[in-house]
Chains A and B, each alone.
Chain A
Amino acid sequence: MKKDLISITDFSKEEYLRIMELAADFEANPNQELLKGKVVASLFFEPSTRTRLSFETAINRLGGRIVGFADPDSSSATKGETLHDTIKMVSNYADLIVMRHPLEGAARYAAEVSSVPIINAGDGANQHPTQTLLDMYSILKTQGTLDNLNLFMVGDLKFGRTVHSLLQAMSEFENPIFNFIAPESLQMPRGYKHHLEERGIRYFEHEEFTDIISEADIIYMTRVQKERFSDPIEYEKVKDVYILNKAMLENTKPNVRVLHPLPRVNEIATDVDSSEKAYYFEQALNGVFTREAIISHVMNLK
């Protein structure tokens, strides 16, 4: 049976650890010609330069060839072809499909239609599992473990798919503690808190972004996006509350690291960049090694 990566929960804890192990191997030796002679389709039904470049770098470092499109204007989708037909055709050409699509569930559907593995590079507000795995690799690299960590998530916890998937994945590990810092209108949805409660995992909710972060091992920042607010006054009230600056990091633990899925707007002040606790740019580089690992895993190359 072919292996796909559509949702972070498609993988077991053992598979998470296997990806981590492979990512470390690719970090030590990024150029391994495991995809030599193979064709990978990179289908971006919605543009995302950052994610696409990371994937295409990973594919090139594995020695694979790339076909596909970078934005929907150049694709048949805009000429009325169904996703079904595009995937049917491309899966006859390529050995692997990496796809990003603006509609939720598009990747799961593509996996049903395709005869070759599908890696979901984001399906609307639903899932972006390769981001989660690179976040986990970044946490493992900086903390030396995925167990017994105090994870602070800050900003838009209601719509932020990266924090939802990270919560699901990290809840598979030993004894995590979650701290959610968000305005009332953007709090972690009930379903995810229920997921933690079922597993007996502790979590705490805060509206104030203060020195409570002194307990943190990881501070995961997200963007508070204007378009998420139905009331513009509400946005104005909270937009500058969830900003991290260097002074706030003074009394934090020496091992704490600040993560962010990028691109940032203003939620991390630029003075944080020079702090040794800032990790978001390295985090992005980890994405290439993690995606090499994910491709190798779904295609059984290693």
Chain B
Amino acid sequence: MEKNDAKKKLKLKVSAIKDGTVIDHIPAKSLFEVISILGLDTIKNQITFGTNLESSKLGAKAIIKVSDKFFENDEINKIALIAPHAKLNIIRDYEVAEKKIVEIPEKITGIVKCFNPKCITNNEKITTSFKVINTSPVALKCKYCEKITAENQIKML
């Protein structure tokens, strides 16, 4: 009973939405990158977010609620590199209609920079493209220079 109350209180910190998507369990430090990758900074939908919320798993987490927005898997999986534990609640009429987790896709186009300074993609305007050759830890093989960008070398574009 007590536990439920605590949960309720935490939820109330970020207001509820009628229809849309709640993205939870985002590492707090990645919040603004997630917003930019999903293009949330350029859409007209109502968006609320909370950050530096307590999380036993992530230390500090962030949560985003986007009204009237339902993401395609391809779209949402783009955040998997920086928010691998993100969970999605699809909300319809104030109720959780569906839950989703993000998955690292097999191919990553754009988003990430190749770590190799001598790669053509770092010297000419070219969309980067990587094959995901390992997911834990993440390892990305550049389609162009064929070098492998390791998880600790990943930089967003």
Contact = CB atoms under 8 A, between A and B. Distances in A.
Interface in B133-157: 142-148
A105 B126 CA distance: 11
Interface in B77-132: 116, 118-121, 123-126
A103 B118 contact: yes
A104 interface: yes
Nearest to A113: B126
A108 interface: yes
Contact of B120 (A7, A106, A127, A191): A106
A103 B148 CA distance: 16
A82 B146 CA distance: 21
A126 interface: yes
B50 to A, nearest CB: 41
Contact of A127 (B121, B124, B146): B146
A125 B145 CA distance: 9
A83 B120 contact: yes
A103 B144 CA distance: 10
Contacts of A13: none
Contacts of B147: 104, 126
Interface in A111-128: 123-127
Interface in A69-125: 82-84, 101-106, 108-109, 123-125
Interface residues of A, number: 18
B148 A104 contact: no
A126 to B, nearest CB: 6
A105 B148 contact: no
Contacts of A124: 118, 145
Contacts of A101: 120
Given A83-B120, A124-B118, A105 B125 contact: no
B143 A108 contact: yes
A126 B124 contact: no
Contacts of B121: 105, 109
Nearest to B144: A105
A191 B149 CA distance: 13
B147 to A, nearest CB: 7
Contact of A108 (B123, B124, B144): B144
A125 B144 CA distance: 12
Nearest to B121: A105
A108 B124 CA distance: 13
Nearest to A84: B124
B144 A109 contact: yes
A123 B124 CA distance: 15
Central interface residue in A84, A102, A106, by most chain B CB within 10 Å:
A106
Contacts of A108: 120, 143-144
A193 to B, nearest CB: 14
A103 B143 contact: no
A191 B144 contact: no
A104 B124 contact: no
Contacts of A104: 116, 118-120, 144-147
A103 B146 contact: no
26 contacts: A82-B124, A83-B120, A84-B125, A101-B120, A102-B118, A103-B120, A104-B116, A104-B118, A104-B119, A104-B120, A104-B144, A104-B145, A105-B120, A105-B121, A105-B142, A105-B144, A108-B144, A109-B121, A109-B144, A123-B120, A124-B118, A124-B145, A125-B118, A126-B145, A127-B146, A191-B148
Interface of B: 116, 118-121, 123-126, 142-148
Question: Nearest 10 CB-CB pairs, A to B?
Answer: A105-B144, A104-B145, A105-B145, A105-B120, A106-B120, A103-B120, A108-B144, A104-B118, A109-B120, A105-B119
Interface of A: 7, 82-84, 101-106, 108-109, 123-127, 191
Given A106-B144, A123-B145, 7 more contacts: A103-B119, A105-B143, A105-B144, A106-B120, A109-B121, A123-B120, A125-B118
